[in-house]
Amino acid sequence: MADRRDGTTWVALELTRAGEKLVEENQLADNLRRLLGVEEDWAIFIPARVYEKNGKKITIHLMEGYAFIATGLDEVVYFRLEHTKLVEQVMATRGSRGIRVLSVIPDGKIADLRKQLSQEVAADIIPGMTVRVLDGIYSKLEGIVLDTEDDHAVIHFELRSLKVISKVPKAFLETP
């Protein structure tokens, strides 16, 4: 059995108004990665989703004012974010000697938040929308919603040599 301490944990950030503005512009994750000096695949979860519906930009916030970054860097790297215009504070506790220690969140809690956000977005999926598949055999593909049912959407995928129409659970979809 794997040691659960080896699993991904997350650092919570409380965002400034400038950070929240970047959430609305769908640019916060890229800015945080740049400030941290990490690659573009470093895990960051922003509990909000921005997409277009009927020509209007829609933002669904699950937890307004917060973002989560995967652990794995030196603690001081996370705390340095507090000296930027994007982060109000990094969630931490005071250790026995008064030294700040990161408060980490287990991956299961973030997975629950991701699922909850997907369900919120799924309620707004309509025909004509472009969506990206998060899980299943069409994972990472983008397609156009042709029709919706209670908990599924009919998606048209067009690849170079193949066109496919498939039913995908709405919970597996996000708007790019």
Considering the domain 126-176, what is its CATH architecture? Answer: Roll (2.30)
pTM: 0.75
Higher pLDDT, 1 or 60: 60
Query: Taking the alpha carbons of 21, 25, 26, 31 in that order, is the dihedral positive or negative?
Result: negative
User: From CA 96, how far away is CA 44, in angstroms rounded?
Assistant: 29
> Which tokens in the block code for residue 101?
């220690």
Considering the domain 4-124, what is its CATH architecture? Answer: 2-Layer Sandwich (3.30)
The values of phi and psi at residue 128, to 5°, are 95, -15
Instruction: Kindly tell me the burial class for residue 2, based on how many C-beta atoms sit within 10 Å of its own C-beta (0-12, 13-18, 19 or more).
Output: exposed
Query: Taking the alpha carbons of 45, 46, 52, 53 in that order, is the dihedral positive or negative?
Result: positive
Instruction: Kindly tell me the burial class for residue 91, based on how many C-beta atoms sit within 10 Å of its own C-beta (0-12, 13-18, 19 or more).
Output: middle
Residue range 64-85, pLDDT digits in tens: 999 999 999 999 999 999 999 9
> Which tokens in the block code for residue 58?
């829609």
> Which tokens in the block code for residue 55?
């020509």
The structural domains of the chain, with segments of one domain joined by +, span 4-124, 126-176
Higher pLDDT, 165 or 58: 165
Mean pLDDT of 49-61: 77
Query: Taking the alpha carbons of 123, 128, 130, 132 in that order, is the dihedral positive or negative?
Result: positive
Q: State the average pLDDT for the chain.
A: 89
How much is the pLDDT for 6?
62
Q: Which helix (H) or strand (E) holds 18?
A: helix 17-24
